[in-house]
Amino acid sequence: MTLGGYRTTVSHPATSSHYDMPRDERLKLGISDGLLRVSVGIENINDLIEDFKNALTVYDV
């Protein structure tokens, strides 16, 4: 993950930015174990939509 990058990134705060915070404290802040953070870059929106559709189909979500 890069701060200030131009590409779209997806992160899992529970195991990245907030990994050292106790679970009960994370939950009080709304950071659940299933939360994903998407930082949208400058890619073409239609490409991003297709990428997310493909990812959700592959993982049957």
Q: Give pTM, 2 decimals.
A: 0.73
pLDDT digits (tens, 9 = 90+) for 4-48: 778 999 999 999 999 999 999 999 999 999 999 999 999 999 999
pLDDT > 80? residue 3:
no
- What domains sit in the chain, N to C, each tagged with a CATH number? 9-58 (3.90.1150.10)
Q: What is the DSSP secondary-structure string of 5-47?
A: -SS-EEE-GGGTTTTTS-HHHHHHTT--TT--EEE--SS-HHH
